[in-house]
Amino acid sequence: MVGLTAVPDGHLWTESTDKRLAALDLPQIYTKPSGTELLQTLDLLTIKPRSFGASAHGPVKSRAVDPTGLTRYLTSIIASPLSWLDTDELREAIWDAASARLSERSGRTAMPAMSRVFAIPTSSGEELTLTLHEPSLTADNLGMKTWVSSYLLSRRLHSVLESTPQLVPSSSTAPTPNPDRTLRALELGAGTGLVGLSFAALRGETARIHLTDLPEIVPNLSHNAALNVELLTRTAATVTTGVLDWSASPETPPAAEEQYDLILAADPLYSPEHPRLLADTIAVWLSRGLDARVVLEMPLRDAYLPQVQDLRQRLGKFGLAIVEEGEETGYDDWETADGAAVAVRCWWSVWGWSEKL
């Protein structure tokens, strides 16, 4: 058998030649490999989702096992009775591992539950580390996964906030934060909570944030807030989570003191109703104060461009105007069939009340 070495993205290199392996180089079932040999090989075949920050080229070069033969290889293990192995436990462990490797190769939506670690830059140049749980996905639960625009927005939050100093005083402009001026922030469609939890840790005691989503998403969102309790405690952050369904308008409009100084949303548009629902929700919950802001980031995928345009128009009709905007490129955390990165153009924007700008 060829010696194998794992590389950080879970693909394999041969030890001596750095050449791409074929599935035939792996221990074949007809040779009755030992249980240890099979488990080690299956462990080395583990793939994780790409990092959103990965460039378009790197992972393609490092993919060192030809993916075409792997599905058949894994299926041959699952189909084998593994009768030469000693125990049922060992056989079960090998079948489980082979099934997991197969589902990892069936696209991001087939992947099992996972924890992912995200590094969020701060204005001092240090990074905060957040861990998020992502349950396995079902088609209608898009909030169980972290999406590329929330990764990009959380990484730019420190600079977005610096450019609105009157709204979010940095520690240099407000050395002794006044508790009465604590910023009230709301995240809509928070999903796994990357943006809102990053914001909470970055702002510490100068803000409090309420992370919201649909009822089926909120339990995992709350779980993720709890997972990061150490970071949130260390940064003196105040985070709450709860249901806020954009399609259910509140029976009585919120009082001025219940409205929010800042509303955040990442990747919120994926149905024709969303622009109206989101714009109406923002209009209800955004404070009419001088410094109120909405910070949005979303992918510019062709199929959803009309919805992005629709949202822009609706926010404008409510009297909001863009203070700052830009585009940037991220990479989806899944690949094309040949292992290439999928670049996604994203649009970020900061909005305020036009008559007060």
Ligand X SMILES: C[S@@+](CC[C@H](N)C(=O)[O-])C[C@H]1O[C@@H](n2cnc3c(N)ncnc32)[C@H](O)[C@@H]1O
Cβ–Cβ < 8 Å for 354, 320: yes
Cβ–Cβ < 8 Å for 321, 312: no
Comparing CB distances to ligand X, the nearer of 80 and 149 is 149
Comparing CB distances to ligand X, the nearer of 247 and 336 is 247
Report, in Å, the least distance between residue 292 CB and ligand X: 20
Cβ–Cβ < 8 Å for 19, 65: no
Report, in Å, the least distance between residue 302 CB and ligand X: 16
Closest chain position to ligand X (CB):
143
**3-state class of 149 per DSSP?**
helix
> Binding residues for ligand X, per CB under 6 A?
142-143, 146-147, 149-150, 189-192, 194, 213-214, 217, 245-247, 266-268, 270, 277
Residue 229 structure tokens = 């309790």
Report, in Å, the least distance between residue 328 CB and ligand X: 14
Comparing CB distances to ligand X, the nearer of 33 and 49 is 49
Residue 39 structure tokens = 């488990």
Report, in Å, the least distance between residue 344 CB and ligand X: 12
By 3-state DSSP, what share of the chain in percent is helix, strand and coil, each rounded to 5?
Answer: 40, 25, 40
Comparing CB distances to ligand X, the nearer of 189 and 275 is 189
Cβ–Cβ < 8 Å for 293, 331: no
Report, in Å, the least distance between residue 213 CB and ligand X: 5
Comparing CB distances to ligand X, the nearer of 38 and 310 is 310
Tally the C-alpha atoms within 13 A of residue 183's C-alpha that lie toward its C-beta.
Answer: 29
Comparing CB distances to ligand X, the nearer of 267 and 335 is 267
Report, in Å, the least distance between residue 150 CB and ligand X: 3
What would the DSSP string read from start to end of 180-217?
GGPEEEEESS-TT-HHHHHHHHHHGGGEEEEEEE-TTT
